[in-house]
Amino acid sequence: MARSIISLVTVLVVVAVISVRPADAAAYPNPGYVTGSIGVHDPAVVKTSSGYLLANTGNNIALKTSTDRTAWRDAGVAFPGGASWTLPYTGGGASLWAPDISRHNGKYYMYYAASTFGSRNSAIFLATSATGASGTWANQGLVISTTSSSSYNAIDPNLITDAAGNWWLSFGSFWTGIKLIPLNSSTGLRSGTALYSIAQRTGGSTAVEAPFIFRHGSYYYLWVSFDLCCQGASSTYRIMVGRSAGVTGPYVDRNGTAMTSGGGTQVLAGHGSVHGPGHQAVITDSDADVLFYHYYADNGAPLLGINLIAYDSAGWPYVY
């Protein structure tokens, strides 16, 4: 009898392990297949009449195009003549960060950041273009800036238009986290002085950045990256999400924890040879909503990641 009980317990344990292990193993899919010029950092993508336009961190903002979302080619830089107006924030360098690209009012809008690593002497600028092509981007001016005495950081911008057509810009990194400001939809620049706090890490780490607000159904989903970017294969970036019925929040995770209190539901994290996935962007495409991000290979190279997004019965996104 004792031996039978032991055998039964053994079977139950094995069954329990088997029932858990597949869910863990399948939690994070590998990035979809991409080819060509796929070395990117902080990718943002907009769908065009001829395919896709991607902008990413680099000297004077690097551009790439694709006709099929799979094969990517270099398409020059946004500012081949340089961006002199950003030099007070970049320490004289040409590297510009975290572009956000979208199309409105018959033209392309690109918000991007100028800063140096670990600094709050930062600024977000706006450029527009009729075609999105290299050399056609015109500086439209400063949107918001911060200094070393600011409690937040003006980097990692993302434009969201709400259900009523109002324009908002989310941004932020570390310190007191992610902020949201209203924009003038005619100019694309800041409107008024309102500043909303929509996400903040609490406890031992303040590492939250790269906000992207995406409207799906009756919710606004706030995608962010937790932990550390830019450490090659040692990066610990991971993609989190929360949602709100209103664009200004409050955003909560699946468990109901406010994102201003450290909440966030994990959607994608490092696994296998995929290290530190993060700085995500989301678009709606003909086949599904699509998640773009960068991750690091075993050799530390930053690469383009693409996965499709689905939503469970409770409306929470997952990738496949």
Burial (0-12, 13-18, 19+ Cβ within 10 Å), 291: buried
- Does 209 qualify as catalytic in the annotation? yes
**CA distances in angstroms from 112 to 27, 141, 203, 218, listed in the order given:** 32, 11, 29, 28
- Does 100 qualify as catalytic in the annotation? no
Active-site option among 42, 156, 227, 253: 42
Q: Which of 116, 111, 318 is nearest to 223 (CA)?
A: 318
Q: How far apart are CA 247 and CA 166, in angstroms?
A: 10
Give per-residue burial for 13-33: e unless 16+ CB within 10 Å, then b. eeeeeeeeeeeeeeebeebbe
Active-site option among 100, 156, 209, 227: 209
Cβ atoms < 10 Å from Cβ of 79: 22
**Widest CA span of the chain, in angstroms?**
83
Say if strands 302-311 and 219-226 run parallel, antiparallel, or are unpaired.
Answer: unpaired
Cβ atoms < 10 Å from Cβ of 149: 7
Label each residue of 246-315 as H, E or C.
CCCCCCECCCCCEHHHCCCEEEECCECCEEEEEEEEEEECCCCEEEEEEEECCCCCEEEEEEEEEECCCC
Give the position of tokens 């902020």. 179
Give the position of tokens 């950041």. 113
Residues carrying an active site annotation:
42, 209
